[in-house]
Amino acid sequence: MPASDRDYASLWDMVQSIKLIQAFVAPLSYEEYLQNRRDQMAVERGLEILGEAARRVSEPFQQAHPEIDWRNTIGLRNVIAHRYEQVQQDRIWAIATVDLNRLLAQLEPLLPEEL
């Protein structure tokens, strides 16, 4: 089953969220990140948007791309949005500085050239 326009729009949103998160953390050290709640909230919001966009990707498309960790991407959004007291900034930092690089490399080739 080919991807729908909604799938591609959601993938585009995911890629844009990752790029913004990476821009937020690029100039920061981990210590600087921990000291600035505004930066933490910006990254958390970006991860919420990323997870929400991942949730909108159709089940057939997700199943066609099992290399992408859809479940944890969506699950992180749910933790940030609903169980924010459980957010661990060391884990958020690792996701923002390491895990998102891999996810971006997986997502970008899936986007059509005209987006």
- Per-domain residue ranges of the chain: 5-106
DSSP state of 3: P
Structure tokens at 54: 């991942």
Q: For 88, what's the count of Cα atoms within 13 Å in the CB-facing half-sphere?
A: 4
Question: Please, what's the largest Cα pairwise distance for the chain?
Answer: 47
Q: Minimal CA–CA distance to 25: which of 89, 70, 73, 88?
A: 89
Range of lowest pLDDT (34-38, 83-87, 89-93, 108-112): 83-87
Distance of CA 6 to the CA centre of its chain: 17
Question: How confident is the model over 36-58, as pLDDT tens digits?
Answer: 999 999 999 999 999 999 999 99
pLDDT for 2 equals 56
DSSP state of 109: G
Q: 48 or 4, which is more confident?
A: 48
Question: How confident is the model over 6-25, as pLDDT tens digits?
Answer: 999 999 999 999 999 999 99
Structure tokens at 87: 């957010």
Length of the chain: 115
Please give the model's pTM, rounded to 2 decimal places.
0.91
